[in-house]
Structure 1
Amino acid sequence: MENKLFKRTKKIIIELLALLIGIIYLLPIYVIVVNSFKNRAQMYDNVLSLPKKLDFQFYKIAMEKMNFSNAFINSAIIAAISITLIVILSSMTAWMLVRTKHVISKIVFFLFIATMLIPFQSIMMPLMQFMGSISRNTIFPMINTRFGLVYMYIGFGASMAVFLFHGFVKGIPASLEEAATIDGCNKWKIFWKIIFPILKPTTVTVIILDLRWIWNDFLLPSLALSSKSLRTIPLSTFYFFGEFTIEWNLAIAGLVMTVIPVIVFYIFAQKYIIQGVTAGAVK
């Protein structure tokens, strides 16, 4: 009897702790959402209180000041092209590194892993200087263009993607490829018709993680883009924070609009994250 009472009490305590942690975790989201409907006076009066009325005027003003439609298109184009190329190039790279049994393949793979340990802040200034020299000395404009930003995102996103794909590819039997070769498939067909479809869980994982990173990234676009017409959503949101004043209600409304697309995508695809990561780790 005492043992059952102890287990029940322990379960209740764990559930209460989980509830408390959940409330603490969701509190910032609550603060952002409720304050996006308030004016400055209501915000300064009580940050945690509910708005007096659900007025979407601040969202409308924020969209106009941010030029939200243009910023959304820029972010969508950059994210879509970057993620597509990261997935294709990284999956191909990981496949060849696994199937090529040579010491050079191991060295290349560990170089990919090593680059994940380098903080971006330590290389951002040399990177911009190097990209600037490419723009000046070649026909490829790397600064203040979507092309240059996509190119840099591919470089920074390849390491993690290769790492995830590499772990999954190791679990795919080589006999599948040997059978396809006997049937007359070349390497191109083997990859696209056999290997790439099997990589679906890891592919979705890479897409989700890179979408969250690229969509919310501020630092790299702030260094690489200067034209107002090329601003991404995080850059457009930043301009509510002036040197002397901050338009908090408009900035918060802009932040809510920024995170909504990622949250919606994440809700529908979240199950693939654990599936993709654990599949690569176990195999």
Structure 2
Amino acid sequence: MNKSEKNKKNYAISDYVIFVLLFLFGIFGILGVLYITLNISLKTPSDMQNILSLPKHPEFKNFSEAWKLTEFPLKFLNTFIITIFTASFTIITNSAVAYVIARNRQRSRFFNLLYYYFLSAMFIPFQVLMLPLVKQANFFHLDNVWGIIVLYVVFGLPMNTFLYNGVLKSIPAALDEAAYIDGANPLQIFIHVIFPILKPIHSTIAILTVMWTWNDFLMPLVLLTKQKFQTLQLSQYVFRTQFSTNYNLAFASYVMVLIPVLIVYVVCQRFIMNGVMKGSIK
């Protein structure tokens, strides 16, 4: 067996091992967790001895009780407003910031440093900023639904700048120059020429932002102190008392919260992968 055939054999074995590991992870790490979550949501407290066994008498009323306890319509509306407006403002503002930086990095040291400043912010954990953020948010009256939208847009800027910049580098500056010769100003160039070209990465960032804001727990926990502003994730606390937790109702609520974002991810995962690859490689 020559060296080439031996390398091919080693690659085949490696691919097989990777496939088996991914398959096992998908079965036990993802489907297994979903099975346990749905299974517990249909159980009664007396059936909780074995969480893997199927419920003897499925209790679908767990979902209706969880709906009432969590004030699901109000909390869903808050979460929906935060998610949709955050995604919309993120695409508009972050793409504009990334465009200005990408077009001026080569000729301006300030914009080059600004780019790396945003990248460095990606490595700062939110827990480090949490206490100062709470104090400043209270001072500027940002501890509400609209205030947290602003903060989500700002905190998403570092990663989104990185993704947008990767795509903008592949768009020739000659397009800007041609539009400028035709009489367009920089704002018109961005709106009518560059922004439509960024549609694939817009889709990716919108989906990632939706998943992040919908599932986020920590920032709403420290900012949204008033009950009328709370999100679906914060409403899960209602099932935990001082001495016990209503696991069946809690897991029923988890299922209801999980379904919307799960549908978004399954339907749009192709856009996520395509946009991330374009933003990180080019």
TM-score normalised to structure 2 length: 0.90
2:134 is aligned with 1:132:
no
Question: What stretches of structure 1 of length at least 5 have no aligned partner?
Answer: 135-140
For residues 282 and 121 of structure 1, the distance between their equivalents in structure 2, rounded to whole angstroms, comes to: 30
Alignment equivalent of 1:90, drawn from 87, 94, 111: 94
In the TM superposition, residue 110 of structure 1 has moved relative to its aligned partner by: 0.7
Identity percentage over the alignment? Answer: 36
Secondary structure at 2:170's aligned position in 1?
coil
Any idea what the Cα deviations from partners look like across 1:180-224, whole Å, max 9, x if unmatched? 222222222211221111111211111111111111111111111
Equivalence map 1:11-22=2 (5 Å): 16-22=20-26
Distance 1:168 1:12 in 2: 34
Match of 1:119 among 106, 118, 125: 125
The aligned residue for residue 154 of structure 1 is 153
Alpha carbons 1:171, 1:280 under 8 Å: kept:
no
Does structure 1 retain, via aligned residues, the 8 Å contact 2:67–2:253? yes
For 2:41, the aligned partner's letter is S
- Residue of structure 1 in register with 2:192 after alignment: 193
Q: Is the 8 A contact 2:44 2:59 kept in 1?
A: no
Aligned-residue offset at 1:13: 6.4
1:109–1:249 CA distance, 2 compared to 1 (3 A): same
Flag the 1:247–1:199 CA change in 2: closer, same or farther, 3 A. same
The structure 2 residue matched to 1:110, chosen from 116, 135, 152, is: 116
Residue 33 of structure 2: aligned partner: 28
How far apart are residue 268 of structure 1 and its match?
Answer: 1.3
Tell me which of 21, 40, 43 is aligned to 2:45. Answer: 40
Deviation larger for 10-19 or 109-118? 10-19
The partner residue of 1:68 within 57, 65, 72 is 72
- Runs of at least 5 residues in structure 2 that lack an aligned partner in the other structure: none
Return the match for 2:85 from 75, 81, 85.
81
For residue 282 of structure 1, report the CA deviation from its aligned partner. Answer: 2.5
> Does the Cα contact within 8 Å between 1:218 and 1:235 map onto a contact in 2?
yes
- How many positions carry a matched residue from both structures? 270
Which whole-Å CA distance do the structure 1 matches of 2:32 and 2:244 have between them?
Answer: 25
For 1:175-254, list aligned pairs within 5 A: 175-254=174-253
How many Å separate the matches in 2 of 1:14 and 1:104? 45
C-alpha separation in 2, matches of 1:142 and 1:28: 36
Mapped to 2, the partners of 1:14 and 1:224 lie a distance apart of 42
CA–CA distance in structure 1, aligned partners of residues 191 and 266 of structure 2 = 28
- What is residue 99 of structure 1 aligned with on the other side? 103
After superposition, the Cα gap between the structure-2 partners of 1:53 and 1:198, relative to the gap in structure 1 and judged at 3 Å, is: farther
SS in 1 for 2:156: helix
Task: Name the amino acid aligned to 1:79.
Answer: T
Is the 1:202–1:277 Cα contact (8 Å) retained in structure 2?
yes
Q: Name the CA distance, whole Å, in 2 between partners of 1:28 and 1:19.
A: 15
Distance in 2 (alpha carbons) for counterparts of 1:247 and 1:72: 21
Q: Indicate the SS of the match to 2:97.
A: helix
User: What is the DSSP-based 3-state SS (H/G/I as helix, E as strand, rest coil) of the residue aligned with 2:52?
Assistant: coil
- Aligned AA for 1:273? I
- TM-aligned CA deviation for residue 55 of structure 1: 3.2
Q: Distance in 1 between matches of 2:101 and 2:270?
A: 28
TM-score, length basis structure 1:
0.90
* Distance (Å, rounded) in 2 between the aligned partners of 1:225 and 1:13: 46
In the aligned structure 1, how far is the partner of 2:197 from the partner of 2:218? 35
CA distance in 2, matches of 1:169, 1:122: 31
